[in-house]
Structure 1
Amino acid sequence: MESLDFAPSAVARMLRGRPTGLVAVIAEQLTTTPDSAEIIKGIQSVCEEHGKILLIGETGGVAETGSRLVADMRERRVEAIIFATPFHREVTLDHVLGQTPAVLANCFQSDPRYAQVVPDDEGGGYDAAKIVLQAGHRKIAFLQLIEGMTATRLRLQGFHRAMQEHEVPVNPKWLKHGAAAVDGNEFEHLEEAIDSLFAQANRPTAILCGNDKMAMRVIFILQRRGLRVPDDVSVVGFDDFRIISEALDPALTTVGLPYREIGELAARQALAGEEASAATVRMPCRPIMRGTVAPPPKGRHK
């Protein structure tokens, strides 16, 4: 076989009705988003475990490209198609999949026709609040992600649940959006938000941030204003984007998104074929304790 440079023909296998061993991922700007690329790694690990070959098509966020990729993957007789997005959001699938098994990873349809695996963002917001509540904080600000995002809404629900369970009142003035959907710098109004939090004598002792990139900027802004983290203000991120969370000094306390686990379960559901039900699975986020959370300064926890 080596001397003749022989390779099995996928076309011949299709003609014989044998499985091609191919699994497709239709990614929406996922391959260019480093902090969520772990989804691909999770899918790849399961494909290797089952002896499957992974094909990846990138839509660039263009619906027409997605439709073309689906048609191309079906021509190749892939055994399953996994749709994956870089952030938790609702999608509308108008693609004609026929009998090809499909699974959604990190995205969902309100009327699910396929299995879908998403992060438990509501639980993540709850855990982020619990980290600082258990450290003794009662003056807690929440700098959220972009308004209208699924994760923004769910994490805020979790935050309110944790505050209610600990009987800590929420200060509405301390609930702000630290990121905005603008061209260029999504954090261009972050300094203004920080300044408004600390303009009065009554100021927060802990700040929850929508993601680690925001948390890093928050720490730098606080330091420029002479505030120490965590001695004066505790900071919690979200994602566990390790290029940031482990590189900061002190290292960032955060809530990790289960990107790899989402990819792994989505791949297993896809390979289950008809046995996979059209249900939504929410993968738990995990608190990761590092060095940016400490008890509130004495006299400022009430």
Structure 2
Amino acid sequence: MVSLKDIAKQAGVSVCAVSLVLNGKYKNRVSDTTAEHIRETAASLHYEPNMLARTLKTNKSHTLGFVTDEIITTPFAVRIMLGAQEAARKLGYILISMNTNNDKSLERQEIATLKRYHADGFLYAFMYHRVVDVPSVLRSVPTVVVDAEDAKHDLPSIFPDEFGIGYDATNRLIKAGCRRIAYFGSESGIIAQPQRLAGYRKALHDAGMNDDPQLIVRATEHQNADERAVDLLKVAAPDGVFCFNDVRASSIYAAANELGMTIGKDISIVSVDNLPNITDALRPGLTTIELPHYEMGFEAVCQLVAMIEQRDKPDIKPDQMFRSSFDTDDTFTTMHGSIIERDSVQNAPHGNE
């Protein structure tokens, strides 16, 4: 078994430095360059920490509970869990996932099970952005809310910048030269709808353009979207459309095809989600804003470990480059989406996908 002494000898540093780095407590004591060298050396020697010894010494299990409504069964939102897993692995923690299927009784049971196994902290995660009442049992332990907002504004919460998404999508169309920009929105009551609409309106206002009520249309996802998309293009005659999500963008594609319009020439389209099952099927390719699911999961674990270990947030980097940035106040963190450029916008730049 590889020991800390073996790593120290190979890396040319002290055993104390190795211990600090591998336990995530090196901030202001070991340089980032040396810390990375130590981690690389440990990996090359196939070092595996003795978790039982660590637990007995610190009274910490180095286990994180990931309690979710239905993320595990949702292809696009599962990236939250993948980001969380990577951060947990880099910080020496194990992530245990529990799917509740929106069953509050099952949720209580799963949280109780994780607490019996001495989980050090919890991620309370959701498939889409909403305000949530966090169970009281989670308020007494380190907990971070993911893709949702704590209704009491007490717990750290990480979620997409919906206003910024609406603003950026609309601004992309403005920069492409569009002057009659429509918003094809949602009839659902979720947070994203009014906030993305507000971002759309602000972008128009900043560009000196008025929002025409005729250009704002909402539709359900499955029942009337195709019909309303045709009406929008025929009656309002937009030259650009910001779609609430990729599903609604597919309805605009169908309507444009029915009306003999060429997407990317007669009309430009920007959407939200970047769902492969939709974007891979649409021609021309759909320019869309990717929600920061992976980034939210990664950042959530970093914040949670900082709470558990009562220290500054760990300075670790993901293996894949983050597409999005974020803003943080005392409690809430909003993460920006990133535009994935394809060919549905007139004069769209290439090579950023």
TM-score range, shorter chain: 0.7 to 0.9
1:60 correspondence with 2:94: no
The equivalent residue for 1:45 is 86
Measure the CA separation in 2 of the matches of 1:281 and 1:97: 19
User: 1:74·1:100 contact (CA, 8 Å) conserved in 2?
Assistant: no
Give RMSD over aligned pairs: 2.2
1:290 correspondence with 2:325: no
Gaps of 5+ in 2: 2-49, 314-328, 348-353
Query: Equivalent residues in 2 for 1:1-302 (5 A)?
Result: 18-97=59-138, 99-179=140-220, 186-200=221-235, 202-273=236-307, 274-275=310-311, 279-294=331-346
**Pair member with larger Rg:** 2
Measure the CA separation in 2 of the matches of 1:256 and 1:129: 15
Measure the CA separation in 1 of the matches of 2:187 and 2:61: 42
User: 2:233·2:255 contact (CA, 8 Å) conserved in 1?
Assistant: no
User: 2:229·2:251 contact (CA, 8 Å) conserved in 1?
Assistant: no
Letter aligned with residue 266 of structure 1: A
The offset of 1:187, in angstroms, is 2.3
User: 1:187·1:214 contact (CA, 8 Å) conserved in 2?
Assistant: no
The equivalent residue for 2:351 is none
Gaps of 5+ in 1: 2-7, 180-185, 296-302
Measure the CA separation in 1 of the matches of 2:202 and 2:260: 33
SS of 1:34 mapped into structure 2: coil
User: 1:28·1:61 contact (CA, 8 Å) conserved in 2?
Assistant: yes
Q: 1:260 to 1:9 in 2, by over 3 A?
A: closer
User: 1:112·1:278 contact (CA, 8 Å) conserved in 2?
Assistant: no
SS of 2:154 mapped into structure 1: coil
Identical pairs, percent = 26
The offset of 1:95, in angstroms, is 3.4
The offset of 1:111, in angstroms, is 2.3
Q: 1:13 to 1:74 in 2, by over 3 A?
A: farther
Q: Deviations over 1:112-147 (max 9, x none)?
A: 221111111100100000011111111111111233
The offset of 1:13, in angstroms, is 7.3
Measure the CA separation in 2 of the matches of 1:105 and 1:9: 27
Q: 1:98 to 1:249 in 2, by over 3 A?
A: closer
User: 1:91·1:108 contact (CA, 8 Å) conserved in 2?
Assistant: yes
Q: 1:130 to 1:98 in 2, by over 3 A?
A: closer
Task: Report which structure shows greater RCO (CA 8 Å, sep ≥6).
Answer: 1
